[in-house]
Amino acid sequence: QETGSIIVILATDAPLSDAILRGLARRAGLGIARSGSPGGNSSGDIFLAFSVADDMPAPPHAGPVITRHSLNWDELDPLYQAAVEAVDESVINAIVQGEDVACVKPEGKTCHGIDTARLMQVMAKYGRL
């Protein structure tokens, strides 16, 4: 049973609308799944995405409506793919670089970091390096 949670924050300088950013944030779950987590029922995962592309204030006397630029919906697949790959890589990096830590749930248990030397031996044995 899943007992943990993960927070993913995706930042980009691509000009994206709020609707596209919501779609980008949803891709974080795919990146986590690529690393082996099903995102269990009790998992409290949070995925956020933001863009720093459009930081210009509205011009003076702009009126009630302003125009913002955003990527075309038809051009988003590479960006979505990059988000999935970035999250997947982040999870793998966290697993490989993790150290032993005392768990909160269940109390008293220790989650051990991966022995990277042993991992390299296993990967070499199966031609995965």
Helix (H) or strand (E) holding 119, with range, is: helix 116-125
Residue 1 has what pLDDT?
60
Catalytic choice (5, 13, 18, 115) = 5
Residue 39 has what pLDDT?
72
In a domain, 126, yes or no: yes
Q: Give percent helix, percent strand, percent coil of the chain, each to the nearest 5.
A: 40, 10, 50
Residue 4 has what pLDDT?
73
Residue keyed to tokens 């909160």: 104
The chain-wide mean pLDDT, for the chain, equals: 88
Residue 3 has what pLDDT?
64
Amino acid at the residue 17: S
Note whether 109 and 122 are same-domain residues: yes
Note whether 104 and 49 are same-domain residues: no
Note whether 22 and 44 are same-domain residues: yes
Instruction: Check if 18 is active-site.
Output: no
What is the pTM for the complete model shown? 0.78
Residue 41 has pLDDT above 70, yes or no: yes
Note whether 3 and 43 are same-domain residues: yes
Instruction: Check if 43 is active-site.
Output: yes
Instruction: Check if 42 is active-site.
Output: no
Catalytic choice (17, 35, 37, 45) = 45
The pLDDT confidence band at residue 95, using thresholds 50, 70 and 90, is confident
Most confident range (mean pLDDT) of 9-13, 106-110, 113-117 is 9-13
Domain span at 31: 1-54+71-97
